Amino acid sequence: MLDISLLGTGGMVPLPNRFLSSMIMRYKKTTILVDCGEGTQVTLKMLGWGFKNIDIICLTHFHADHVAGLPGFLHTMANSGRKEDVVIIGPTGLIEVVQSLLVIARILPFKIIFKEINKDTLLNFGEIDINTTFLEHRIICIAYSFEIKRNGKFHIEKAKQLNIPHNLYNTLQNGNDVEYMGKILRSTDFVGELRKGFKITYCTDSRPVESLVSFAKDSDLFICEGIYADDKKINKAKEYKHMLFSEAATLAKNSNSKELWLTHFSPSLKNPEEFIDVAKFIFENSYVGYDRITKTFKYRED
Amino acid sequence: MLDISLLGTGGMVPLPNRFLSSMIMRYKKTTILVDCGEGTQVTLKMLGWGFKNIDIICLTHFHADHVAGLPGFLHTMANSGRKEDVVIIGPTGLIEVVQSLLVIARILPFKIIFKEINKDTLLNFGEIDINTTFLEHRIICIAYSFEIKRNGKFHIEKAKQLNIPHNLYNTLQNGNDVEYMGKILRSTDFVGELRKGFKITYCTDSRPVESLVSFAKDSDLFICEGIYADDKKINKAKEYKHMLFSEAATLAKNSNSKELWLTHFSPSLKNPEEFIDVAKFIFENSYVGYDRITKTFKYRED
């Protein structure tokens, strides 16, 4: 079971009714935050998922609206009793930027492990793979995809036929061999091939570069910026290196994603939901994100 | 006419229903902000006084809850069209802290003039004097008082007797001599002695040090932290170098201030207004501050 929530959906400046773009996901015991603009800790408090269990913070780039909330956020994590290491991932410049911001949060009770990304990278954290790719923005910026690996199907009928006790099923399913009644039971004899898990792709801020199509390929959820809804704003989108609703929807379609959540709206876009048809016309399963929109992904037992 | 508003009244962490402690004041064309925690730009947007005219930013100290909002705030000032210099005042360490935070707001269209305070100081900005004094907190911290100078009374009857045209009154009242009908009219002949203007004192975070009594003497408004309402929390207040409601009220009384606004409440203090009697018992004119509480001070024409 994978939970996803957009903590904020605004771009550029935090507004009284819209926090800055940020996403949080949790899968089993791992919680990952993507981006941390000013106010992210407040909207997370409203969501109520807690601060103590955040293991990984991914930063897309170092414009203030994506990172200015970090020192306060880490401070609040410290106050929540976090002691374990926290991994912070971000593009080139990460260490300098975070250490500069920490001038006002110098003493933290946990260690920060930096992963500075300077080329497209795959990082593995147990059952979660994090992939990065470089985007086209005014400064260096990366997109993230999160892939949850899923164990193969457990052949329960076979286990029953052999009278293997129930309490050994989990161990075998998780890839461990077991000794039982003097015999070695091999996990591979009871578990099928790895199955497709979930794939979530997160992209702010960028022009719609071609490489995103393969990067986001077959995503269960593609979260993508759409700073403007109106196609007439294409020149402004190009100038500031952002994307229109229609461009995000085209990426969702071409990448064969299952669902699109638009985010990172311009402060001038007061009611983005009024323009959802612009995206739906290209990619039916498009939704306008809003602060703390939440979805739980469950496996279909097939 | 002097306008004052508390942009936030919380301490330590920003909450969904309470911004971090900050004050804004405007007098004629000068606007001054005191402290800038995470979210200060959002509550100022809610207040609606604008970002472009902020000339002076005073920082009390460099704990995150008083300064983490600065890079985003300056960025929004830039987007509002600010071009003129901005003065930033703060205790020793100011330049290092602000320049570190500006790692995410490197290019600003205005110049920052730093005033780093390393001893009790008087700074003059036209009709406004800003005084500082050092406090007793866990790190170096200063209180501010703002004194508005007020010109002497204009002797209108005398001007009328001499048939001086109305359009010269203002010039004379503002201290300028004027040539009229071949004679020099001296301002000092028409204007009385300087009169008492307004005095506003702002103090977060500190233990109630004795020097505050003279520093805040005769304030029209004393804005002071009261992190806890309950006197039983005195040990905690001492440990973290903060003040109780009763300690702030005692300072207000002993300094002969006219009015006290309490601020910087602990997140554990959900409804500070329930405890106002603790302060009123000591100093009747005590009020519990709340986000965007606003007051306009006008001169009584005496």
Intervals of chain A under pLDDT 50: none
Q: Which of B35, B55, B65, B291 is catalytic?
A: B65
Task: Give B-chain residues touching A139 at CB under 8 angstroms.
Answer: none
Instruction: Tell whether the model's pLDDT for residue B302 goes beyond 60.
Output: no
A to B CB pairs, distance under 8 Å: 93
- Angstrom CA distances, B283 to A226, B214, B262, B287, stand at 55, 17, 12, 10
pTM for this prediction:
0.91
Read off the pLDDT of residues B258-298 as tens digits, 9 standing for 90 and up. Answer: 999 999 999 999 999 999 999 999 999 999 999 999 999 99
Give every CB contact of residue B181 below 8 A, 6+ residues apart in sequence.
Answer: none
Q: How far is A101 from chain B (nearest CA, A)?
A: 5
pLDDT at A301: 62
Contact A97 B76 (CB under 8 A): no
Residues B226/B204, Cβ–Cβ less than 8 Å: no
B90 touches chain A (CB under 8 A): no
Q: Which of A3, A35, A55, A65 is catalytic?
A: A65
pLDDT at A293: 98
ipTM computed for the complex = 0.89
A38 touches chain B (CB under 8 A): yes
Contact B100 A96 (CB under 8 A): no
Read off the pLDDT of residues B1-42 as tens digits, 9 standing for 90 and up. Answer: 899 999 999 999 999 999 999 999 999 999 999 999 999 999
Residues A67/A35, Cβ–Cβ less than 8 Å: yes
Half-sphere exposure of A261 (CA within 13 A, CB side): 29
Diameter over CA atoms, chain A: 73
A65 belongs to the catalytic site = yes
Nearest residue in A to B43, CA atom = A16
Contact B72 A67 (CB under 8 A): no
A64 touches chain B (CB under 8 A): yes
Read off the pLDDT of residues B132-180 as tens digits, 9 standing for 90 and up. Answer: 999 999 999 999 999 998 888 889 999 999 889 999 998 988 888 999 9
* Chain centre to alpha carbon of residue B237: 24
Q: How far is B230 from chain A (nearest CA, A)?
A: 22
Residue B85, preceding peptide bond in cis (omega within 30° of 0): no
Interface test with A, best of B38, B45, B73 (most A CBs within 10 A): B38
Q: Measure CB to CB from residue B71 to each of A13, A68, A96 and give the nearest one.
A: A68
